[in-house]
Structure 1
Amino acid sequence: MIVLQVENLVKKYGKFTAINDISFELTEGKIIGLIGPNGAGKTTTLKCITGLLKSNAGRVLIMDKCIRDKEARSNIAYIPETPDIYGMLTVWEHLKFIALAYNLKNWEVHAEELLQKFDLKDKRNDLCKNLSKGMTQKVSICSNLLHDPQVILVDEPMIGLDPKAIRELKDAFKTLKEEGKTVFISTHLLDNAQNLCDEVIVMKKGKIIAKGSLEELRKDFNAGKDVTLEDLFLEVTEDEKN
């Protein structure tokens, strides 16, 4: 089932076109990577999808509803590269604050499940300001999952994390996929993208220049079965190398 549709999306800053008429669809129960060189338009794309940035043209549908619709917004979550956490609240207080903001009822059971799933139960009474970046990222994810969205957008989630935290985060994304959620990840870490993502979308200069599974990309670019995602990425974005 298609859970996210982006149709002819355009975002301009004055005369500069950050996103140039892009269209794509995401289906449920998949992890999709959004990759591209710096300045390709990845973060801008995520923010336009969520409505944090107003696009100049095009439309975004979540579960067949316009992103401006309240029901559509309830089915999406955005986790930025730098988690927006209230440091003077404990982990549990932070979740309670989010529940109040969303006017959620009987949220405690789901919150407990999230703390268990993300290995945060022993941190529930810790102030968020005292957590490591990996733990802070987990709190951000739990906060964004508390209202049970179908589509989770994540911007550069693994930057600055140690190998253990990266492994735990990847396992968490895989669990979300198994639950039927759709995870859309912007990342520069191509090895992780190859091992984690079912499909990737490659952007360059505001345009989509390739998309599909690794096998599909190998076929599209007449590449052998041993060619990696990094090899393909460098080939299709060749003029970006300097």
Structure 2
Amino acid sequence: MAAASILAPALDSTIVIEKRSSTADRIAADPRSNSIRVVAPYEYKEAAKCLAEAFKDDHVVRYAIDTPDRAHWSEEEKYALHLQAMEYVTYAHCLKGLVTTVGPDYDCVALWMPPGKNIDDLLTILRSGMWRLNWQLSKEGRTRFFKEFLPLLASTKTEVLGERDNHAWYLNYIGTKAGSRGNGYARRLIEHVGDVADRAGQACYLESSHDINIKIYGKMGFTLRKQIWLGLDETIRMDVMVREPKGVLKEKI
């Protein structure tokens, strides 16, 4: 669904349980959450497995991996890097953002970046190991990821949100395991944070990579704001959508 930047955990031995932010605590304590919970850093690999499975054939997510100069790689090798990339971004969000899950076995996972937060600071890059991508990706992959993909996402978000860029929730990834689809898990995770955004009068932002998601997200209050393309022939499309806060006008009266 949503495309995201990719970060990497350094050494497993350095991973510790981080203290939750006040926002994460508030969401985790919400009595309406049922089985929705916040994923701790030590759980990042299990959460990442869910996302890796959900996005295993996604052209946007694998844009920097499925490159011509890696045509000789087997699908197993490419999937291994894809899984590592998901571990990277999941761990980074555990450190600086908000990772939520629902279901008995990490059946659906969402990676959120709260307002004013990002995973691009030097400390997070060092701790998460983003430097690994400089040698894990091929030459073409590095160009696609660092010079095309990330700059396009950043500039588009700023363009679409304007002065609200640092005051909106960013749904970086959300994915459901194939065998767990149809249970409404994704809707629950989105509406869970959506309620928090509504109470604060904040928007939610995402990029989607599948046509059907325009309709699906539309039922959750998102509207299409812009379409962007990747590749020299611009064949890979992303749909940029925004969910405006509900009940803001009523609360201001």
- The TM-score by the shorter chain falls in which range? under 0.3
Q: Which has the higher helix share?
A: 2
> Which structure has more strand as a fraction of its residues?
1
**TM-score, normalising length: structure 1:** 0.28
Larger Rg: 1
